[in-house]
Structures are given as C-alpha cells and as structure tokens.
C-alpha cells in the first residue's frame, strides 16, 4: 500500500553512506545500495548534510544507470559553502567533502540548496524536506529567526517547487513541537520524524494523530535512536547522536530483558514498532553496510509474539510512573 506521494512501506536512509561516525568506502556504499535495490527498496532519503554532499553524490551515481521508477527525498535548510580541506568543520561525519554547512531557510537559500542537490543527485527529488527546523536544533531565539526566513520567502519557494516538478514538500526533524506547529501553518505532504516514535521515545503520539487527521504521511526514521536499540545497552552505545546516559542504558537493559523473555531480538522489536501505528506510511532503515541491511531486513520479517508488545508497553508505563 502506498500513499498519494507513492511512499512505500520501506525506505533506506543514507546517513550511513555519508560516513556517519565512521568511513565507508565507495565500494561499500555501492554494495549497500545494490543490496537495497535487490531487496526491492525503491525509496531513498538523503540530505546535503550527510557527509557534506557525499551521500547525495554517491546516491546520484548509483541511480544514474537505473531506469526503474524510484522515489528520492532530500532536504533543504543548509547551504554548503566550499572550503579548503583544513577548514572543514567537525560535523559528525568521517572524511566529509570540503564544504562548511550554513543554515539558510530563506527563499534564496532554499533554492540554492535545491539546485545544488539536483546537481549531486542528477535528478529532481520527489520529496523536499525542510531539515532540522525547530528549537531543539536552533534554540528559541535562533529558531524564531529561521522561521521568519521561511515565512518571508522560504515557504513560497517550496510551494513554487512543488508546482513545478517536486511532488511533495515536508519537514525532516527530530522534535514533535515543530511538526505540530507547522501543520497549522503550512500545507505539508510528509513529515520525516527521527527518533521520536521508537520503543525508547514514544513522544510522537500527538503529532501522529494530527498528521493522520490531516492526511500527511509520516516517515519514521531513527528507529534505533542513533544506535542503542540495535547495539543494546553497552557502554559505548549512542542515544540521539551522543553517548547514552546511565538512565537510558538502564532503560534499554530492561527492554532487553523483556525481549529475551520472548526470544525476540530488541533490534527486531525496534524496527517493527513504528509500523504498528496507522499514521506511519514508511519506515526508514539506517545502514552503513550490506550486512547491516541484511540483518534489518531479516528482523522486519521475524515473528514477534503479541505478548512481547504487551510486556514492553507495561515496562514503558512503569518507567514513566517512576520518573
């Protein structure tokens, strides 16, 4: 089943082939994309920020020789400025391309970002998402400035692009509040929400219900919360792009015990959880290698006893009451 945009139930996120946390060679990136293609995945999400252009360029090269219909989403909100190699900032991606990202949500900034992405991808993206708008990224004052830029030209630019080739517009964010606010202000086609509708963080409920009522597609991303729901509660686990706190480690360890009682890997439960909500049209898989993708695809097909969900719901409720 697909929605009006043609979003399928499954897609591949490309932060991994942008070298998130660790280097990935061109050959490894191509092997991952080949594996996704062979598995029938025809939706790929990317962004200029991923490797400062590297993920878009790799995805563009991969898709250039394929004629079968494919859906691509990318993001706007950052402009990449060329810099010397020794001036590339630390952005969380290993060996990024020689650019420095600059937030720009103005009309000119969004149009430039779009044009640059078209150049790297070799195609007009189907879905264009405003990236990382919200107070979580920019703070209250900074976000007010960026929202003003959107209101005075950015939104208009996106609407024009939607009328001239881009099939849909939306947001790609890590927070619920900005999604609720923008649903009241802009005609969105999709919301890509990372890390807020997961086994560990279930704060997305109000946004899911509002999006469903408005007919806006929700794309669930970051389903492992930056890794900890895949790795488990090990000392080096990451949560929301940073080392996991002791509280998070303890909560995940408790979830692992629940999963073990039902003989189900926590990673499988984490991947299948978002799909249980009717508002979620697509789940994005995050992988940096063909092997990681194979594990995720197998986890998605793994039978999960109903009792596992009931016990995890009960565990989560107990944790909330204890806080």
Reply yes or no on whether 50 is catalytic.
Answer: yes
The one catalytic residue among 50, 104, 126, 189: 50
Residue at token pair 């807020």: 196
Residue among 66, 171, 182, 165 at smallest CA distance from 115? 165
Angstrom distance (rounded) from CA 281 to CA 209: 13
Give the 3-state secondary structure percentages of the chain, helix then strand then coil, rounded to 5.
45, 20, 35
The one catalytic residue among 45, 104, 126, 189: 45
- The answer to whether the beta carbons of residues 105 and 58 sit under 8 Å apart is no
Q: Where are the alpha helices (DSSP H) in 200-302?
A: 205-214, 228-231, 246-261, 266-272, 290-301
Angstrom distance (rounded) from CA 270 to CA 315: 15
Kindly report the backbone phi and psi dihedral angles of residue 232, in degrees, each rounded to the nearest multiple of 5, phi listed first.
Answer: 85, -175
* DSSP 8-state class, residue 157: H
The one catalytic residue among 3, 26, 75, 108: 75
Angstrom distance (rounded) from CA 293 to CA 28: 12
Q: Which residues are catalytic?
A: 45, 50, 75
């Amino acid at each position: 089943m697909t929605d009006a945009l043609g979003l399928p139930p499954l897609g591949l996120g490309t932060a991994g082939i942008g070298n998130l946390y660790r280097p990935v060679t061109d050959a490894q990136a191509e092997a991952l994309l080949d594996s996704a293609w062979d598995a029938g995945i025809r939706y790929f999400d990317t962004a200029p920020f991923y490797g400062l252009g590297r993920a878009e360029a790799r995805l563009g090269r991969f898709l250039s020789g394929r004629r079968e219909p494919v859906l691509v989403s990318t993001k706007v909100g950052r402009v990449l400025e060329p810099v010397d190699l020794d001036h590339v900032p630390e952005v969380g991606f290993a060996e990024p391309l020689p650019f420095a990202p600059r937030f720009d949500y103005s009309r000119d900034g969004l149009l430039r970002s779009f044009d640059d992405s078209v150049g790297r991808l070799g195609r007009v993206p189907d879905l264009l998402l405003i990236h990382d708008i919200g107070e979580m990224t920019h703070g209250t004052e900074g976000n007010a400035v960026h929202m003003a830029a959107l209101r005075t030209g950015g939104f208009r630019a996106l609407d024009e692009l939607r009328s001239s080739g881009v099939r849909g517009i939306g947001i790609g964010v890590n927070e619920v509040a900005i999604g609720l606010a923008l649903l009241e202000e802009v005609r969105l086609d999709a919301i890509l929400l990372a890390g807020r509708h997961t086994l560990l963080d279930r704060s997305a409920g109000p946004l899911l219900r509002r999006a469903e009522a408005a007919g806006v597609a929700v794309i669930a991303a970051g389903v492992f919360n930056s890794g900890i729901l895949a790795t488990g509660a090990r000392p080096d686990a990451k949560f929301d792009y940073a080392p996991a706190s002791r509280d998070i480690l303890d909560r995940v360890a408790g979830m692992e015990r629940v999963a073990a009682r039902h003989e189900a890997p926590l990673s499988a439960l984490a991947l299948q959880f978002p799909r249980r909500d009717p508002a979620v049209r697509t789940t994005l898989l995050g992988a940096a290698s063909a092997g990681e993708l194979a594990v995720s695809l197998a986890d998605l097909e793994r039978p999960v006893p109903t009792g596992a969900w009931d016990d995890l719901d009960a565990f989560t409720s107990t944790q909330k009451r204890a806080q």
